[in-house]
C-alpha cells in the first residue's frame, strides 16, 4: 500500500510544484493521474521512486518511509518500485531478454550481471512474463527491431522483473497509436489484478483514464482537486482540472465504448 501525506516539492526557490498532496493507493487498484501540463504529475511519480528528493511530507510504501531514505536502503527500496516510461527506455542494441533481465540488476551482484550470469529462476521468470504479455518469441531479437507496442511490453516486463510492490507509469501510451495504447492500458490493468499490484499512471488521454482505470486523481497547480471514479469524472471535474484548456484527448472520450472496458 502507498500512503502519501502532505507531500511538498519545491524546485530551488520557485513556488512549490506539489503543495501538500495526500494520496492513498491500496492493493491492486489502478489509478490514473491527470492534469494539465505542469500540474506536477511527473514530479509526483519521481518523488515516489525518489528520482527526486521531496521537500517535505511523507511517502510510505507498505509501511516503509521512503522520503528520507539514502544510500543502500534507498537502492533497496527503489527496486520494489517498477517504472514504465513514455519512451520505453530500452537499450536498443541489447536483446529483448537482456533488456528484461535489466530489471534484476538491483538484485544480482555486479560481476554476475557483467558476465550475464543470471540465476535460472530469473530466466524462468523472464520467459514466463514475456509469454504472459506476448513477446516471448522476440526474446533474442534486438530491442530496436520491435514495434512501439512490443517495446512497451518489454518495458512493462522489465519493471515486473523487479518484483515490485507498486508500478508507476509515466505517460506509458503517449508514444503509441490509439489501438496499441488501449492494448497497453488493458494489459496493465490485467497485470495489476493478476499480481495484486497497485498501479499509478500519469496520463493525458482522459478517455483512456476513464476507460481503463478505476480511480482518477486530478491535479491542478500541484493540488489534488479531484479523486474519484470515472463515473464521477464529469464535465464539471474536467473543467475544474483543465480550467478551460481543452484536455488533449477529450474529443476521443466518446470513442471508447462501454463494451470495450
Ligand atoms: N528539474 C526541475 N527543475 C525545475 N523545475 C522543474 C523541474 N522539473 C519540473 N519542473 C517544473 O515543475 C512543474 C511541474 O512539472 P511536471 O513535469 O511535474 O508536470 P507534469 O504535470 O508532469 O507536466 P507534463 O504533463 O507536461 O509532463 C513545471 O512547472 C516544471 O517546469
Q: For each of the chain's 261 residues, which pLDDT tens digit applies?
A: 999 999 999 999 999 999 999 999 988 899 999 999 999 999 999 999 999 999 999 999 999 999 989 999 999 999 999 999 999 999 999 999 999 999 988 887 766 666 677 889 999 999 999 999 999 999 999 999 999 999 999 999 999 999 999 999 999 999 999 999 999 999 999 999 999 999 999 999 999 999 999 999 999 999 999 999 999 999 999 999 998 655 555 444 433 333 333
Cell 480550467 belongs to which residue?
243
Measured in angstroms, how far is the CA atom of residue 218 from the centroid of ligand 1? 16
DSSP element (H, E) containing 121: helix 120-133
This prediction has a pTM of: 0.90
> CB within 8 A of 180, min separation 6: which ones?
147, 148, 149, 152, 173
Selection from 99, 106, 46 nearest residue 80 by Cα: 106
Tell me: ipTM over 0.95. Answer: yes
Query: If you classify domain 79-199 with CATH, what class do you get?
Result: alpha beta
Q: What residue's CA is closest to ligand 1, atom 12?
A: 17
Instruction: Please identify, by atom number, the ligand 1 atom nearest to the C-alpha of residue 52.
Output: 1
Q: What residue's CA is closest to ligand 1, atom 8?
A: 43
- What is the C-alpha separation between 23 and 165, in angstroms, rounded? 16
Residue-range domain boundaries for the chain:
79-199
Q: How many CA atoms lie within 13 A of 208 on its CB side?
A: 28
Beta strands 56-61 and 2-9 are antiparallel
Amino acid at each position: 500500500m502507498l500512503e502519501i501525506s502532505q507531500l511538498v516539492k519545491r524546485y530551488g526557490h520557485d513556488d512549490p510544484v506539489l503543495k501538500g498532496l495526500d494520496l492513498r493507493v491500496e492493493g491492486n487498484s489502478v489509478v490514473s493521474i491527470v492534469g494539465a501540463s505542469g500540474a506536477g504529475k511527473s514530479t509526483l511519480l519521481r518523488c515516489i521512486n525518489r528520482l527526486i528528493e521531496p521537500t517535505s511530507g511523507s511517502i510510505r510504501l507498505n509501511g516503509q518511509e521512503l522520503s528520507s531514505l539514502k544510500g543502500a536502503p534507498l537502492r533497496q527500496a527503489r527496486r520494489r518500485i517498477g517504472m514504465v516510461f513514455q519512451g520505453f527506455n530500452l537499450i536498443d542494441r541489447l536483446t529483448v531478454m537482456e533488456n528484461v533481465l535489466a530489471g534484476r540488476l538491483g538484485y544480482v551482484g555486479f560481476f554476475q550481471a557483467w558476465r550475464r550470469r543470471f540465476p535460472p529462476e530469473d530466466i524462468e521468470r523472464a520467459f514466463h512474463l514475456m509469454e504472459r504479455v506476448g513477446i516471448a518469441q522476440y526474446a533474442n531479437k534486438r530491442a530496436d527491431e520491435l514495434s512501439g507496442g512490443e517495446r512497451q511490453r518489454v518495458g512493462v516486463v522489465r519493471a515486473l522483473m523487479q518484483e515490485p510492490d507498486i508500478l508507476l507509469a509515466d505517460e506509458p501510451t503517449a508514444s503509441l497509436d490509439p489501438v496499441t495504447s488501449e492494448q497497453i492500458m488493458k494489459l496493465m490493468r490485467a497485470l495489476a489484478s493478476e499480481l495484486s499490484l497497485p498501479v499509478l499512471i500519469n496520463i493525458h488521454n482522459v478517455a483512456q483514464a476513464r476507460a481503463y482505470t478505476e480511480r482518477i486523481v486530478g491535479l491542478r497547480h500541484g493540488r489534488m482537486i479531484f479523486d474519484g471514479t470515472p463515473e464521477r469524472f464529469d464535465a464539471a471535474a474536467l473543467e475544474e482540472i483543465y480550467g478551460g484548456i481543452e484536455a488533449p484527448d477529450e474529443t476521443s472520450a466518446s470513442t471508447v465504448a462501454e463494451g470495450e472496458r
